[in-house]
Structure 1
């Protein structure tokens, strides 16, 4: 199914890169204890959880004043070597390390990219149609669903019936009750989406549509506010999702996410069941029902 043209960018303010950098570093420092990093815990009362700034600076091999400036959001002249040292001291994952680098040393080309309309290449849309027994879709920046096939509509609902602006995983999961019922582990799905949006925020802090989305969800969803405040980031490229489909019942499906080589902001996501499993039979039934199945999961 072809994606519809994007709507015009919604008015909104940019995310504050300095504030994002400051809050991210504080949140990562707060989750570490002295014993986690080989420092003695002298049992003294700590006013805040986690490592002190001076302890983190010591581990990273930088001065306290230098680290303090960075944690206050001043990352303009920080070197890649210093960021690497701080990332090691904070025990950041690869995704967190990349996020820190984006926040500290934002790239100008990312600003231009955020303004471009997201277009799915024709051959990629054709591939979706060829995968006629595999639920598959293309997701882009801001968790926007850009294109999908018939099986994805049968599994998740017919996104073609929604306005273009509503074809967004974050809006669906946090604002539509039927998706809370669809995902057996709704909390984990919600976490995955927020972590991906945080990665986008690091890459595109000047994207007004992303800022507007975060603002809207923060107002409308207490769950989103709670998860957004954690500042967690991660990339989850494969795993298992359990769904409770209103037509075929519970399914356990393996998902794989493949970044496109020409546009790393888009990913092809596929779902499949273990061969011979009840979930494989359920997918076969969904495929046999054709377009009738796409009307079962509410989309509006």
Structure 2
């Protein structure tokens, strides 16, 4: 995976999604490829086609904020997609990362005795978890990678009744939160591209960070649960997040969680 072409690949994928009439352009005859042609995007964004070629080929690495915003507007990118565009154009982040958690964070996880909770990094490696999270699924065991588990573990497909939707969300969140220029992240993505499901989803270039939302489980021991996922920042390590799953008080979901311990 070439870091030089990440921005260009994203631009090409996105212009392939915008039809000429959606951009206010007149289309004549049959098009050889879907979406906007390169010259059309260049005209909409107010840049030269030659410059856009350099961006897409990865030979220009320093587009201005004005150019990026013009491209985002022309491509009708939403807030998350625009943030991703800017991130791809920015210098690679520092190589420093936190692959462990402090004792204080582990104690916090353990104190949530009725709430499954774990810590992951932007590469979706699980770094720490409490007992209830690991009882909810082995996927949340420290040392596991959530992306690999999502696609390679048959038990995970059974755990999530909405597996196809969650797999798509996981892939979009990896693209939004991880930096493919990080060697370990690049290795993860390259290895995952051998999986047909992941490869198809990755090719969509969808961008969506992890959100707070309801998630359905079907646990092999306690049956159906619906839990609210919450994403919390770990202020001690900005490349980590804390994920919790909460049940409604005095609900069947809370009773089911209690049976896991």
SS at match of 2:192: helix
Structure having the higher helix fraction is 1
Residue 30 (str. 1) matches residue 16 (str. 2) = yes
Whether the 8 Å CA contact 1:172–1:179 is kept in 2: the answer is yes
What are the Cα deviations for residues 90-115 of structure 1, in whole angstroms up to 9, with x where unaligned? 121222222222222223xx2422xx
229-238 vs 25-34, which moves further: 229-238
Q: Select which of 217, 226, 241 maps to 1:267.
A: 241
Q: Select which of 202, 205, 217 maps to 2:192.
A: 217
With CA pairs under 8 Å and 6+ residues apart, which has the higher RCO, 1 or 2?
1
Q: 1:158/1:59 Cα in 2 relative to 1: closer, same or farther (>3 Å)?
A: closer
CA distance in 1, matches of 2:60, 2:232: 32
Q: Which runs of 4+ in 1 moved over 4 A?
A: none
Residue 183 (str. 1) matches residue 157 (str. 2) = no
CA distance in 2, matches of 1:157, 1:112: 29
CA RMSD after TM alignment: 2.0
TM-score, structure 2 as length reference: 0.91
Q: 1:204/1:49 Cα in 2 relative to 1: closer, same or farther (>3 Å)?
A: closer
Whether the 8 Å CA contact 2:124–2:145 is kept in 1: the answer is yes
* 1:131-280 alignment, distance < 5 Å: 131-157=112-138, 164=143, 167-201=144-178, 203-205=179-181, 207-219=182-194, 221-280=195-254
- Structure 2 residues without counterparts, runs of 5 or longer: none
TM-score, structure 1 as length reference: 0.80
Whether the 8 Å CA contact 1:34–1:50 is kept in 2: the answer is yes
Count of matched residue positions in the alignment of Structure 1 and Structure 2: 261
Whether the 8 Å CA contact 1:240–1:253 is kept in 2: the answer is yes
- Structure 1 residues without counterparts, runs of 5 or longer: 1-14, 291-300
